[in-house]
Structure 1
Amino acid sequence: MKKWVGMLFLSFIMIFSLTACNQSQTEKVRLAEVTHSIFYAPLYVALSEGFFEEEGLDVELTTTWGGDKTMTSLLSDGSDIALVGSETSIYVEAQGSTDPIINFAQLTETDGTFLVSREKIEEFQWEQLKGTTFLGQRKGGMPQMVGEYVLKQHKIDPKSDLELIQNVDFANIPSAFASGTGDFVQLFEPQASIFEKEGKGHIVASFGTESGKVPYTTFMSKESYLKDNAETVKKFTTAIYKAQQWVQENSASDVAKSIAPQFEDTELDIIETVIERYKEQGSYAQDPILDEKEWNNLQDIMEEAGELPARIDYETLVNTTFAEEVTGK
C-alpha cells in the first residue's frame, strides 16, 4: 500500500513539474488592435481555436480604438505587436523614425466598407451618387481615402459632384445616417447588414471590391522587436496562417460560431452574413504574405487622396521573411 501511495505521489510530482515547465515556456505577446471588428475574424479564430496556444503563445489582446492610439501604444512599448492599417507605418516612417514600424503579416487585403443607400435601388450605378448627400468616413483615414479613390475611378468628383460630409465622428456615423443625415453612407460591417435587416438602408456596392487589393490591416511591430524576438514572431505568424487556412476551409456559419463569443451584442445570423460577404469578396487574406503590388496600390490610393507624406519603398517597411517561412512560399 505504501509503495502504491509513493508511486502515486511521484507521478503527481512529475505531472506538476511538467505542467509548470510548460507554463514557464509560454510566451506572452501583447497585441493591440485598432478596433474590434468581424473584419478581423481570422485573428479571433486563432484565439478561439487555440492556434496561439499550440505555438506556446499567450496573446493578450487590447482594443486601442484608433490608428493614432494604436501606434502610440506600439511606439511607447505598451504593446509588442499592432493590428492596424499599413498606412500608419508610412506616417511614422515619414516623420523620421529611428526604429521603423515593420509590416510582417497581412490579415485583410481589401477595404471593409460598403456603400449603403437610404432608398432601395435595384440596379445601382455609381453615377447615381451625383447631386446627392454622401456621409463619408473621417478625413485622412483609410476608409475615406478608399472612398474618394473609388468615386474618382467612377468619374465622380467628391468635392463638386456631391455633398460630402466628413465631420461626423466614426462612432456616430451610423446614428447620424439613421436619424436622417445623408442619402448614402459608407459603413463598416456589421452596421451595414444590421441596417439592411432593419430596413434602414440597403447595401448597393462594396468599396473593397471596387478599390482592389491593398494591405488594409496588417500585423506590425518595431524593427527592434522583430530582431530580438524572431522566434516569437514566427510562432505568431504561424498561428495566424493556421487561422487563415481554417477560415478558408470552413463555412461562414462555422466561423461565426467560432468567433461569436467576441461579439456578444451581435446576433449570430448577422455575424454569419458579414463573414460570408467578406469571404465572397476576398477580404480575408489567404496567407500572411504582403506583396509589393498591394503595397504600391495602397500608396496610389493615399497619393490620390493627398494624404501620402512620402512614397516609401516596399523593402523599407515590409518584411515577408516570417510569412514565407511558415507558408513555404
Structure 2
Amino acid sequence: MSLLKRITGAVALAGVLLATPAMAQNKKVVLSQAFQSMLYLPLYVAINEGFFTAQGLDLTKETAGSPTVALSAVISGSAQFSIHGPEWTAIAASKGAPVGIIANVVNGAAVWIATAPDFKFTDVKSLKGQKVVVGTMPTTSTSLFLKLLKENGMDGKTDVEMIPVAIGSEPGPFLAKQADVAVMYEPGLDQVVAKGMKVVYGFPKSYGAYAFSSVTARNDVNPDLAQRVTNGMEMAMRFMKKDPAKTVTIAQKEFPTLDPAVIESAVKRMLADGVYPDSVDISAPSLKISMDTQIALGNLAAQPDYDKFVVKKYIEPALAMK
C-alpha cells in the first residue's frame, strides 16, 4: 500500500473515531404527545429542522392518544416530557403529582366556531336553540364553548343541542348538515371553510394570550435534558416566525393525507391569530386565563402557584440564547 493511501486511510479512521464520541453524546429522551396535532407544530419543526439534534438530543416522539395517558407517561417515568394542555398538569399537581410546565407550545385559545354559509350570526346569542357539533368532553374546545355560553347567559344543556363526536371528526356531521354550527380545531376548521362554511367566532382573538398547550416534566427531571428540550423548542418558534413558508412545508410533510391547501390555510391562520407563540415563555396572565376556564367548569379548584408551576429556570436561559 502506498504511503499516500495509508495516510488517507489513517485520516479517515481518525475521523470516524473522533465522530463516534460526539454521536454518543447525543442524549436519549422520550417525549409523549397527546395526539399528532397541528397544534403541536413547534415540536415537529424542532424535529424536522434538527434543533433537538443541535442541542445534543436523540429525541423519540411517542403518541399517547390522550392528554392523561401522555401525562401518566411522565409521572411514571416512561417518558421525560409530554405535550398537552397545561390544565391536565395543573390538575395532577393539585393532587400531589410532582409535575410542572417548562415550555410554551400553543399560546392562543385555538378554537373557532363555524356555521353554514346562510346561517345568520350576529352574536353568541344567535346560537340559542341551535344544534351544535362539538368534541366529546373532556376537551378544551367544548369547555371554552360552554364557558362562552355561560358568559352570555346561556346553558349548554338547555339552550343548545350539542352533538358530541370524537375530537377531529367534527367536519363529517357538520358537512352532512346534521347541524348548522360546529366548534372546531384546526385543520378541521379550514377543511369545512374549503367546502363553503364560514368562521363566525374566533377564541384566539377573543382571549388573546392563552396557555393552551405546553411541555410538562417531573420536578426531578434531569435539568440538563430539560434545558436542551426547552432550547430546541425556542429555536423552533424563532424559525416559525422567520420562515412561515418552510413551516407550512413541514406541516404538509407531517400530515400527508390532508389537502396541502387546507394545511397552508390552517397554519397561516394560526400564525396570524397568535396561536403559535413567539417564544417558550408562559406569562402569568396567559396561564391564569387558561386555568380560569377549568375553574369555571369545576375541573380545577384553584389557580396553581405560577412561580412553582412554571419552571422559569429553563425558560429564561432559552430566551437568552443568541
Q: TM-score, normalised by structure 2?
A: 0.93
Shift, 1:174, TM fit: 3.0
Shift, 1:271, TM fit: 1.3
Shift, 1:155, TM fit: 3.9
Is 2:276 aligned against 1:284? yes
Secondary structure of the corresponding residue to residue 105 of structure 2: strand
Alignment of 1:173-192 (within 5 A): 173-192=170-189
Q: Distance in 1 between matches of 2:289 and 2:72?
A: 26
Instruction: Tell me the residue number matched to 1:79.
Output: 79
Instruction: Tell me the residue number matched to 2:190.
Output: 193
Contact kept? 2:102, 2:314, Cα under 8 Å: yes
Secondary structure of the corresponding residue to residue 322 of structure 1: helix
Instruction: Tell me the residue number matched to 1:216.
Output: 212
Instruction: Tell me the residue number matched to 2:303.
Output: 311
Contact kept? 2:135, 2:168, Cα under 8 Å: no
Contact kept? 1:150, 1:210, Cα under 8 Å: no
Mean Cα displacement is larger for which, 297-306 or 120-129?
120-129
Secondary structure of the corresponding residue to residue 143 of structure 2: helix
Contact kept? 2:141, 2:185, Cα under 8 Å: no
Secondary structure of the corresponding residue to residue 162 of structure 2: strand
Secondary structure of the corresponding residue to residue 170 of structure 1: coil
Q: 1:127 aligns with which of 125, 128, 141?
A: 125
Secondary structure of the corresponding residue to residue 251 of structure 2: helix
Alignment of 1:10-21 (within 5 A): 10-21=10-21
Q: Distance in 2 between matches of 1:307 and 1:273?
A: 33
CA RMSD across the alignment: 2.0
Instruction: Tell me the residue number matched to 2:161.
Output: 163
Superposed CA deviations along residues 12-52 of structure 1, whole A, max 9, x for unmatched, are: 11111122111101111111111112222221111111111
Secondary structure of the corresponding residue to residue 40 of structure 1: helix
Secondary structure of the corresponding residue to residue 109 of structure 2: coil
Instruction: Tell me the residue number matched to 2:231.
Output: 238
Mean Cα displacement is larger for which, 133-142 or 54-63?
133-142
Shift, 1:123, TM fit: 6.1
Shift, 1:108, TM fit: 0.6
Is 2:132 aligned against 1:140? no
Could you say if the C-alpha distance between residues 122 and 51 of structure 1 is closer, same or farther in structure 2, counting changes exceeding 3 Å? farther
Is 2:265 aligned against 1:264? no
Could you say if the C-alpha distance between residues 208 and 152 of structure 1 is closer, same or farther in structure 2, counting changes exceeding 3 Å? farther
Secondary structure of the corresponding residue to residue 161 of structure 1: coil
Structure 1 stretches of 4+ with a deviation exceeding 6 A read none
Secondary structure of the corresponding residue to residue 287 of structure 2: helix
Instruction: Tell me the residue number matched to 2:240.
Output: 247
Superposed CA deviations along residues 73-105 of structure 1, whole A, max 9, x for unmatched, are: 2222221110110001122123222xx111010
Q: Distance in 1 between matches of 2:36 and 2:51?
A: 19
Instruction: Tell me the residue number matched to 2:96.
Output: 96
Segments of 5+ residues of structure 2 without an aligned counterpart are none
Instruction: Tell me the residue number matched to 1:57.
Output: 57
Could you say if the C-alpha distance between residues 120 and 77 of structure 1 is closer, same or farther in structure 2, counting changes exceeding 3 Å? farther
Secondary structure of the corresponding residue to residue 136 of structure 1: strand
Contact kept? 2:102, 2:216, Cα under 8 Å: yes
Q: Distance in 1 between matches of 2:28 and 2:250?
A: 23
Secondary structure of the corresponding residue to residue 194 of structure 2: helix
- Alignment size in residue pairs: 321
Q: Distance in 2 between matches of 1:162 and 1:144?
A: 13
Q: Distance in 2 between matches of 1:71 and 1:120?
A: 42
Matched to 2:246, the amino acid is D
Q: Distance in 2 between matches of 1:124 and 1:20?
A: 64
Shift, 1:205, TM fit: 1.6
Matched to 1:211, the amino acid is Y
Q: Distance in 2 between matches of 1:259 and 1:16?
A: 35
Matched to 1:102, the amino acid is G
Secondary structure of the corresponding residue to residue 135 of structure 2: coil
Matched to 2:126, the amino acid is Q
Instruction: Tell me the residue number matched to 2:36.
Output: 36
Q: Percent identity?
A: 20
Could you say if the C-alpha distance between residues 302 and 110 of structure 1 is closer, same or farther in structure 2, counting changes exceeding 3 Å? same
